[in-house]
């Protein structure tokens, strides 16, 4: 009887370890794809102005379906036609163009300078880091630090099991509070990135950048 209970508990831990490993691989794959998209977008900004078509998230979503497949699994959902139909439905019903800034849809006019550059919504948090720091070198270093922070967070295997975000802010799980602060700081940076660069927004953006990097470092070292 004791052996049966021990084997059942061991099987539960093995399944949990397999789930954690697969989730970690999928998260790391998404982060790597996002970092490649960031590099492609910022390299393309020097060539194409007001043209963010290649920066659309749909172009990378169709290439990361392999992260959902477990090697050796008997039951899995094929990419065609289920994932393809789902992506087409999401793009047509909840198009990301609605979340984009209206200036990105204006045709290029070499005689008119836009009021300010607004990237796609998923780049605004990191664009705000560049915008609120006056030094080009310092802004680039902080920008790279924020991307490295995101990559390190995706490598933490036990973080997904400790991210227990509940309704109340102060919970028994200390990591939940740091995760909520980290998410709120990113949302605040997204708002700052879409705003016109003014003195008030720059001050708030610097504070949000400090909070974002500090909470990310705490989560990496916890």
154 neighbors 188 (Cβ within 8 angstroms): no
Cα(216)–Cα(22) distance, integer angstroms? 22
The b/e string for 148-180 (b: 16+ C-beta within 10 A; e otherwise) is: ebbebbbebeebeeebeeeeeeeeeeebbebbb
Alpha helices in 158-198 (DSSP H): 159-162, 174-194
Percent pLDDT > 90 in the chain is: 8
54 neighbors 40 (Cβ within 8 angstroms): yes
Q: What tens digit of pLDDT does each residue of 86-124 get?
A: 778 777 765 666 677 777 777 888 888 777 778 877 788
Give the pLDDT score at 206: 92
The CA-CA-CA angle for residues 175, 176, 178, to 5°, reads: 65
Give the pLDDT score at 9: 42
């Amino acid at each position: 009887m004791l052996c049966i209970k021990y084997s059942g508990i061991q099987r539960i831990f093995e399944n949990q370890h397999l789930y954690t490993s697969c989730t970690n691989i999928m998260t790391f794959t998404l982060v790597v794809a996002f970092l490649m998209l960031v590099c492609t977008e910022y390299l393309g900004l020097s060539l194409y102005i007001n043209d963010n078509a290649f920066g659309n998230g749909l172009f990378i979503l169709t290439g990361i379906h392999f992260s959902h497949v477990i090697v050796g699994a008997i039951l899995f959902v094929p990419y065609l036609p289920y994932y393809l139909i789902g992506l087409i439905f999401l793009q047509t019903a909840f198009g990301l163009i609605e979340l984009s800034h209206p200036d990105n849809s204006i045709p290029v006019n070499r005689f008119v300078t836009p009021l300010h550059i607004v990237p796609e919504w998923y780049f605004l948090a990191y664009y705000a880091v560049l915008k609120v720091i006056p030094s080009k070198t310092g802004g680039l270093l902080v920008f790279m630090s924020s991307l490295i922070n995101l990559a390190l967070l995706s490598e933490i295997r036990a973080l997904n099991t400790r991210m227990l975000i509940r309704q109340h802010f102060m919970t028994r799980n200390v990591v939940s509070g740091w995760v909520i602060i980290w998410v709120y700081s990113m949302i605040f940076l997204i708002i700052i990135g879409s705003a016109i660069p003014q003195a008030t927004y720059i001050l708030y953006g610097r504070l949000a950048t400090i909070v974002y990097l500090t909470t990310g470092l705490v989560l990496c070292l916890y």
